[in-house]
Chains A and B, each alone.
Chain A
Amino acid sequence: MANFEKDTELSDIELDRLLQHASTPLPRNDFEERLLAKLTSTAVPTNVITFPKRKKISLWLASLPLAASLLLGVWLGANGTAAEFLPFTTESVSQNDTALLGTQSTDELDFLTEDNLS
């Protein structure tokens, strides 16, 4: 019979001897049969994710705004200006701005330089 020390920690050899007596569980005998039965009921996997079908938009319907845009481009190109479509001209815009500031021309805005504003 082995003579074990009483007060010291278990040695590695002693621990290994104890570990040899740990359980060695086994699965049930019908493990494979049950698993294979599950395989047949499992759907075939796929790595492809299908997107949901979209509603088919009529090609003619989609082409209408494109055609309109093209026509507008051609027409504007022929006339060379879009001024008559705007509410006011760029000239009237500058006049309105100076009127709002109470000045006669943009030259008078020079005093608003960075040096004067500090």
Chain B
Amino acid sequence: MMIDRPMTPQSANWQTATDAVLLAASAQRNQQAFAVLVQRYHVPVYRVAWRLNGGHADTDDIAQETFLKLWNNPGQLREAAALKGWLMRVASNLVMDRYRRKPMLELEHAEDVADEAVSAPAMLDQSYVTKMIDAAIASLPDRQKLALALVHFEHMTNIAAAAAMEISVDALESLLARARRGLKEKLGAGGRQLLATLATQGE
């Protein structure tokens, strides 16, 4: 008969452990277990923070602070299944708190959205396409940006993303629809030029 015993630092193979086991061990100040959680989630947390603050240099600090909050207050998370959403929520709150304090910084990367008077050689550069899309996303309101980041870039389901944002699924879908409409408007005719550039380069 199998006995479901809690893993100990001596016996643990943390890499294959579930989030629940890792969280429980982290709450007991086990750094190895916590390191595995960091490995699993630091990239999406970083990407969401980056997307929300428009690629600002303090993205790294925000991602680190997010995990420190988990380390210092493991009891805040009641359900291990909600870990990813919880991390996303904490990271997005940290970004919004920072930029509420110094709102001018938020605009610094969103200034050149869909500039249609761009020279042809510049349009041929694929990195320029990326820059234009990033700028268009950066210019969206925070909530729309977060909804888009969670669903489109982090591939979370609408239900999981709505839970992470602590809103209803309907509200999330509304945010997504407005985000997409906003992007279409911001990219405008320039969006077609960008697509044409990608098509010429064979994508």
Contacts and interface: CB of A to CB of B under 8 A. Distances in A.
Interface of A: 1-2, 4-6, 9-10, 12, 14-15, 17-19, 21-28, 31-32, 34-36, 38-40, 42, 44-45, 47
A53 to B, nearest CB: 26
Determine the main DSSP class of A at the interface with B: loop
B64 A34 contact: yes
Q: Which of the listed residues A34, A39, A40 has the most CB atoms from chain B within 10 Å of its own CB? A: A39
Contacts of A32: 35, 38-39, 42
A5 B39 CA distance: 44
Nearest to B187: A10
B71 A21 contact: no
Contacts, number: 105
Contact of A23 (B72, B73, B134): B134
Contacts of A9: 184-185
A1 B202 CA distance: 8
**Chain A to chain B: the 10 pairs with minimum beta-carbon distance, closest first:** A27-B46, A25-B50, A10-B184, A22-B133, A10-B191, A4-B192, A45-B72, A1-B199, A9-B184, A23-B134
Given A31-B64, A36-B35, A25 B192 contact: no
Determine the main DSSP class of B at the interface with A: helix
Contacts of B42: 27, 31-32, 35
B46 A44 contact: no
Given A23-B130, A35-B64, 12 more contacts: A1-B199, A4-B195, A6-B189, A17-B195, A18-B194, A21-B129, A22-B133, A23-B50, A32-B35, A36-B35, A39-B34, A40-B31
B200 interface: yes
Contacts of B129: 18, 21
